[in-house]
Chains A and B, each alone.
Chain A
Amino acid sequence: MRFLLLFSRQGKLRLQKWFTPMTDREKKKVIRDMMTLVLARQPRTCNFLQWRDLKIVYKRYASLYFCTGLDDQDNELLTLEVLHRYVELLDKYFGNVCELDIIFNFEKAYFILDEFLMGGEVLETSKISVGVSMEEADTLQETMEEYMSKPAY
């Protein structure tokens, strides 16, 4: 997998993750092209596209489009399930996730993604394992009060 983008129906980018080095210009071009390509698609067409030498796999969940670019050898159908598993993980964490959750907790969306994917490959497919490590991370999270009561160093 080369990249993963989340954008809204209105063309607002909500999350971008790049798994291969790219310049900012290239990234902007990819984002623009993906939005024009994917947003223009009719409903109920297939979830795959060819774009340059990449296979594009996208899926719409409510108001958000999840869109990835794959190498030639990657499996399209399973990538759809990668997207689905990510949505499930977000759902599990936020409890019925919506676009606003991802806007206001964008850093969490990145963290959850990191637990699940690394270098464009699936790191952990078990929902339980990912869930556990996110919970562990949260128990490490101190409350604001704790922070504020501590003296500055």
Chain B
Amino acid sequence: MPAVSKGDGMRGLAVFISDIRNCKSKEAEIKRINKELANIRSKFKGDKALDGYSKKKYVCKLLFIFLLGHDIDFGHMEAVNLLSSNKYTEKQIGYLFISVLVNSNSDLIRLINNGIKNDLASRNPTFMNLALHCIANVGSREMAEAFASEIPNILVAGDTMDSVKQSAALCLLRLNRTSADLVPMGEWTARVVHLLNDQHLGVVTAATSLITTLAQKSPDDFKTSISLAVARLSRIVTSASIDLQDYTYYFVAAPWLSVKLLRLLQCYPPPEDAALRSRLTECLETILNKAQEPPKSKKVQHSNAKNAVLFEAISLIIHHDSEPTLLVRACNQLGQFLQHRETNLRYLALESMCTLASSEFSHETVKTHIETVINALKTERDVSVRQRAVDLLYAMCDRSNAKQIVAEMLSYLETADYSIREEIVLKVAILAEKYAVDYTWYVDTILNLIRIAGDYVSEEVWYRVIQIVINRDDVQGYAAKTVFEALQAPACHENLVKVGGYILGEFGNLIAGDSRSSPLVQFNLLHSKFHLCSVPTRALLLSAYIKFINLFPEVKATIQDVLRSDSQLRNADVELQQRAVEYLRLSCIASTDILATVLEEMPPFPERESSILAKLKRKKGPGHLPDIDDARRNVNGSTEPSENTEATKKSSPSLMADLLPTNRPRPASSSPIMLSAGTMGSTHPFTDLLNLNSTPPSGASLLVDVFSDISTAAPAEVCEENFLRFVCKNNGVIYENQLLQIGLKSEYRQNLGRIYVFYGNKTSTQFLSFSSSVTSSDTLKAQLNVHAKTVDPVIEGGAQVQQILNIECVSDFTDAPVLNIQFRYGGTLQNIGVKLPVMLNKFFQPTEMLSQDFFQRWKQLGAPQQEVQKIFKARHPMDTDVTKAKILGFGVALLDGVDPNPANFVGAGVIHTKNTQVGCLLRLEPNTQAQMYRLTLRTSRDSVSQRLCDLLSEQF
């Protein structure tokens, strides 16, 4: 390459750069830069108009200064001026400056857009490319607004140069990523698909990228690209490597295009057309075959490009998850790579195998590599490879190998890098819980975790072990014995003290029979750790002590002495002091009976999904927290009666609250002392907005019926805004305006249901002539009986009344009944209609079944009309816990370990109607890469399959 342009374009710039490089210190550099900035500023402000060259040079210097990391607050105008220059280099520098330095809210955006507009219209391909690059580089909304509708025209116009087409395609891709709503779909989309047939491989490559992005958002619009992509891929794969000339990269035919085509195909399920499908299978087989051929070059570029295509093909095979032979071949290929001498290939093989492990066809084959993977964990020199090995072990774990894998992870944890310890701890905790056959193993594992890596054991982990111990009485004695032994160690981690304190406080009595662990010994053991612990742990220990007073009256005096000591009663920490004072007082004044009631053993926690899983997900990426609705994980455990946002926002502290005695059910008359004694720093944020627990005024008024008959003017509009939010839950606020809040609490058993409707008057004025009735369409009347009790015609300001609806499901149905409410407020008649969330799935009874039964029934329901399937985009973050909760809330039993792919969800239930019962199986397959779900429902009635599919598919 001739040195035409090596810096001799702008001598002043080169001089300045070498000056900067010669600066001996940071201060000298800043001084030199300030001098230059002053110089440039004076030039720009000077009377003499600058010529284009000088302007370009100074703008370029400013750019250099900015890239060194200094702020630039002038020169933008000069850069914008350069855009309108007709000299290429000036324009180019102007665009570069703008791309790097101008942010979207600049006031200059209008001028810049003007410059771009001129260049786009210039029909000079070089200028057009510069303009398109600038749009793609800045990519702001303003730019999208200005140009998103114009670029498609450039892209598909017949006379556009190839290079401009390429830029236009990628520019559009870029705008679509950030401002998809501004890119108009239209006639051009069909023509873009045909660019896959273009002669110019560069155009095809760029177009494939664009189509992939668009197809991820609206797959249906780009379905036609499948056959074109397969055809193109097939031509590349079978071509001799030299056919593609400059698009052959180190003897690999068009690797970029191949990878992109394979990527595009991953937006879709396997092609339905048999011929197309077999052509694609052939391509994939050819790619797999090529991996076994001797390399055409020793260069690493050759093997990288070749293997890049291979890995992408394997991704597609895994995505389709439908051809067992291909899956097994892919798995074997990865198995070879696991032992490859190239670290990169080992890394990628581990990564790909993780996804392969979740396929039902290849899970077993993946498992055969367990020894290699464990070996990788022990011998790999590179931490990022070891991290992948941990991930794969986690993915391939199932009941058969859980003990081995957990043991290996635990032993690796002792030497693991600090950066990945916390993640390993979470993974071990999850596996231990998920595959625990006996819970003694689980308890041992968690205590081992604390012993080995106590600092990395997060709160979620130790909360969880306590929840499980409390909920399973078969393990309580063992847990008490084990923590007692573990606490004997002279130096034990504070987390162990917490777990120990909590468990002995609850279940210390189970081991108190043995003189070696008598009450006093237990207490002394705990108390020996007290002074080394932080305030929250001490607070927890104090609670354990008061529990001891109840469990073991014989140590009461000892404990009272401790509580009474100055270091407790006068502790500087207000929480500790308060606890000491209140517990001491409680132990003195309360009778044994009261003490026993107040300090009773913790009731079982509502079964909830593990919060450890959620934590692991959060660690894996910034991935936004699920929206408020989703955050209510306990769709099933109806402990929270209202839709209070305050309460939902605090979904994580609520776990903490659960662990503390505050939350335990107790008679309303419980002493106020206990309330404050129980709180551990955090007040329970929950307030009963709807006051669901209070007894509502009963006694119906006859007058209402008379009135409601006269004026049953149907409301203009039926509100169904919140309807779909009730598909997977039974309680919450269904309607709210300035005057009225309507809350629901529902229960269903078999084909019967009852809804408690709560009408809350939000104003301070009375509602008069209040009435509410339920209407159904004619079809629905035959399918669903709804009987509404009458309701008091007056609702005082700020008051709440309750109405009971009794429901009977006669046969399966699709419509929903409407709740019509009328009342007078300040003289005007209010008319409100609300679609009642009574859906077919409410009459589900969950059915547990074993894997083989499931598959047997699944096959029996194989007739085409019995199955309804839907593929749809995820509308919420794809969170396994939330999804599980929703499926449970939907009413079916979630069957673990049925689907060989642990990422999939399988459920079963029976819909009860008066006339018949309908068995129902469902399967939900998330594809996190494509952010899509596939939902399949099989029932014996097509209308049921359809309705359930419609309802559930709206929930993700």
- Selected from A106, A119, A138, A141, the residue in CB contact (under 8 A) with B170 is A119
- The chain A residue sitting closest to B299, CB to CB, is A84
Residues of A within 8 A of B381 (CB): 42, 45
Contact yes or no, A48 B205, CB < 8 A? no
Q: Which residues of A contact B87 (CB under 8 A)?
A: 140, 142
- Cβ proximity bits A48-79 to B, threshold 8 Å, 1 near / 0 not: 11101100000000000000000011011110
Interface of B is mostly: helix
Interchain nearest-CB distance for B316 vs A (Å) = 12
Bound complex: CA A19 to CA B305 (Å): 23
| Contacting pair A45 B384 (CB below 8 A) | yes
Assess whether B866 is interfacial by the CB under 8 Å rule.
Answer: no
CA distance A94 to B4 in the complex (A): 10
A126 close to chain B: CB less than 8 A = yes
Interface bracket on A: 35 or more
Do A152 and B48 form a contact, CB below 8 Å, given A105-B6, A122-B205, A137-B92? yes
Instruction: Give the residues in chain A near B64, CB-CB below 8 Å.
Output: 106
Q: Point out the residues of chain B lying under 8 angstroms from A148, CB to CB.
A: 53
In whole angstroms, how far apart are the Cα atoms of A125 and B305 in the complex?
13
Q: Nearest CB to that of B63 among chain A residues?
A: A107
B67 part of interface (Cβ distance < 8 Å): yes
0/1 string, B138-152, CB within 8 A of A gives 1: 011000000000000
State whether B6 touches A119 (Cβ < 8 A). Answer: no
A13-B69, A44-B343, A77-B307 known; A110-B9 Cβ under 8 A: no
Is B67 within 8 A of A16, CB to CB? yes
In the complex, the chain B residue whose C-beta lies closest to that of A150 is B51
Q: A20-B178, A50-B384, A129-B246 are in contact. Are A144 and B259 (CB under 8 A)?
A: no
Contact in complex: B163, A153 (CB < 8 Å)? no
**B514 at the A interface (CB under 8 A):** no
Is B109 in contact with chain A by the CB < 8 A criterion?
no
Question: CB within 8 A of B163: which of A20, A106, A133?
Answer: A133
Cβ contact within 8 Å between A21 and B178: yes
Q: In the assembled complex, which residues on chain B have CB atoms less than 8 Å from the CB atom of A104? A: 6-7, 14, 17-18
Which residues from B are CB-within-8-Å of A106?
A: 63-64, 67
Interface string of B404-426 (1 = CB under 8 A from A): 00000000000000000000000
Interface of A, helix, strand, loop or mixed by DSSP: mixed
Does residue B912 face the partner (Cβ distance < 8 Å to A)? Answer: no
- A79 CB, min distance to chain B CBs, angstroms: 8
Chain A residues within an 8 Å CB radius of B589: none
Chain B: minimal CB distance from A97 (Å): 10
Q: Which of A102-153 contact B (CB under 8 A)?
A: 103-108, 110-111, 114, 118-129, 133, 136-138, 140-142, 144, 147-148, 150-153
Q: Which B residue sits closest to A82, measured CB to CB?
A: B256
For residues 12 through 54 of chain A, which have their beta carbon under 8 Å from a beta carbon of chain B?
13, 16, 19-21, 42, 44-50, 52-53
CA distance A84 to B250 in the complex (A): 12
| Min CB–CB distance A63 → chain B (angstroms) | 14
Smallest beta-carbon distance A24→chain B, Å: 8
User: Chain A CB within 10 Å — which of B170, B348, B621 has the most?
Assistant: B170
**B465 touches A (CB below 8 Å):** no
Known: A94-B6, A150-B51. A107 touches B167 (CB 8 A): no
**B7–A84 contact, CB under 8 A?**
no
User: Once bound together, how far apart are the Cα atoms of A125 and B92, in whole Å?
Assistant: 22
Q: Are B126 and A137 in contact (CB under 8 A)?
A: yes
Complex-state Cα separation, A110 to B99, whole angstroms: 11
Complex interface: chain A residues within 8 A of B813 (CB): none
Please indicate which of the listed interface residues B5, B87, B312 has the most CB atoms of chain A within 10 Å of its own CB: B5
- Expressed in whole angstroms, the Cα–Cα distance for A104 and B93 within the complex equals 15
Q: Does chain A have a CB within 8 A of B166?
A: yes
CA gap between A49 and B417 in the complex, in Å: 14
Q: Say yes or no: is B275 at the interface (Cβ < 8 Å to chain A).
A: no
A126 touches B5 (CB 8 A): no
Query: Do A105 and B7 touch across chains, with their CB atoms under 8 A apart?
Result: yes
Q: How far is the CB of A122 from chain B (nearest CB, A)?
A: 5
**B164–chain A nearest beta-carbon distance, Å:** 11
Q: Which residues of B contact A123 (CB under 8 A)?
A: 166-167, 170, 202, 206
B308 and A78 contacting across the interface, CB-CB below 8 Å: yes
- Would you call B133 and A114 a contact (CB within 8 A)? yes
Contact indicator B17/A103 (Cβ below 8 Å): yes
Instruction: Looking at the assembled complex, report how far the CB atom of A117 sits from the nearest CB atom of chain B, in whole angstroms.
Output: 9
A residues engaging B (CB < 8 A)? 13, 16, 19-21, 42, 44-50, 52-53, 72-73, 75-78, 80-81, 84-85, 92-95, 101, 103-108, 110-111, 114, 118-129, 133, 136-138, 140-142, 144, 147-148, 150-153
13 additional A-B residue pairs with CB within 8 Å, beyond A75-B259, A75-B312: A20-B178, A45-B384, A46-B344, A48-B344, A73-B263, A76-B308, A76-B348, A77-B305, A95-B3, A119-B177, A138-B4, A144-B9, A152-B48
25 contacts between A and B (CB under 8 A): A48-B347, A50-B387, A52-B622, A77-B344, A78-B304, A78-B312, A92-B1, A94-B6, A105-B6, A111-B92, A118-B132, A118-B133, A119-B170, A119-B174, A122-B256, A123-B170, A124-B163, A126-B201, A126-B246, A129-B246, A138-B5, A141-B9, A150-B51, A151-B51, A152-B50
